[in-house]
């Protein structure tokens, strides 16, 4: 899975025109769906073939969100996130959102999201989030040390 950005559409980061893709072949790619990252640029529909020259993958970790994706907006809900360790990586619906210490407050559109917080040597923290406009959700993600698998 890879997240691609259309440089030629003229959209900036703020417009957040993101497309999540499942298959990339040299020269061509298929847009399967755009939700929940955003919408395909005007004139493109799910299933359309797009020349790869119009798109390019953003540096890892893939996929990731634009920096201002989680800023305050009218009609959004607030997630107050604390994590241990603080520098744990935060993923929303599989997309990298940033580290927990910099993402103390996330504003999301109403909906259901899969939150994953992970750090090296720790067990992943998973939670299903339900976000409603104007509501505050406090999440405390304490990541336990990873248990080493013992061979029988």
Partner 1 sequence: MKAKLGWAAALVAVASLGMAAPKGTVPRSSAGKYALHATREKFSIGVVTLSPEQARKQFVSDVNRCCVVVEVALYPSKDGKLDVSLNDLVLRQNNSEVGDKPASAKVIASKLRKKAEATRDISVYPSVGVGYGNGGYDPATGTRAPGGTYKQVGVGVGIGGSGPQPGSTDKDRVAMETELSEKGLPEGAASAPVAGYVYFPMARKKSQTLTLEYSVNGEKVQLRLPQ
Summarize as ranges the residues that interact with partner 1 (CB under 8 A): 32-33, 35, 45-48, 74-75, 77, 109-112, 128, 130-135, 137
Nearer to partner 1, 46 or 67 (CB): 46
Walk across the sheet containing 49-51 and list its strands: 24-25, 28-30, 49-51
Coil, helix or strand at residue 9: helix
In the complex, what is the shortest distance from the CB of residue 56 to partner 1, in angstroms, rounded to a whole number?
23
C-alpha 41/C-alpha 43 separation (Å) is 6
Specify the pairing of strand 49-51 against strand 89-92. unpaired
Nearest C-alpha neighbor of 62 from the set 129, 146, 2, 145 = 2
In the complex, what is the shortest distance from the CB of residue 79 to partner 1, in angstroms, rounded to a whole number?
11
Nearer to partner 1, 25 or 59 (CB): 25
Coil, helix or strand at residue 13: coil
In the complex, what is the shortest distance from the CB of residue 80 to partner 1, in angstroms, rounded to a whole number?
14
Quickly count: other Cβ atoms within 10 Å of residue 77's Cβ: 19
Nearer to partner 1, 35 or 56 (CB): 35
In the complex, what is the shortest distance from the CB of residue 126 to partner 1, in angstroms, rounded to a whole number?
13
Nearer to partner 1, 12 or 75 (CB): 75
């Amino acid at each position: 899975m890879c997240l691609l950005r259309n440089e030629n559409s003229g959209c900036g980061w703020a417009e957040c025109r993101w497309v999540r893709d499942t298959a990339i072949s040299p020269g061509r790619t298929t847009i399967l769906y755009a939700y929940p990252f955003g919408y395909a640029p005007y004139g493109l529909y799910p299933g359309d073939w797009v020349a790869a020259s119009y798109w390019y993958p953003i540096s890892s970790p893939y996929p990731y969100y634009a920096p201002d994706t989680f800023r305050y907006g009218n009609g959004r809900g607030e997630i107050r996130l604390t994590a241990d360790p603080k520098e744990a990586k935060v993923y929303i619906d599989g997309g990298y959102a940033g580290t927990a210490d910099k993402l103390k407050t996330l504003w999301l559109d109403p909906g259901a999201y899969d939150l994953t917080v992970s750090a090296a040597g720790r067990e992943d923290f998973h939670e299903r989030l339900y976000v409603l406009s104007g509501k505050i959700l406090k999440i405390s993600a304490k990541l336990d040390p990873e248990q080493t698998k013992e061979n029988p």
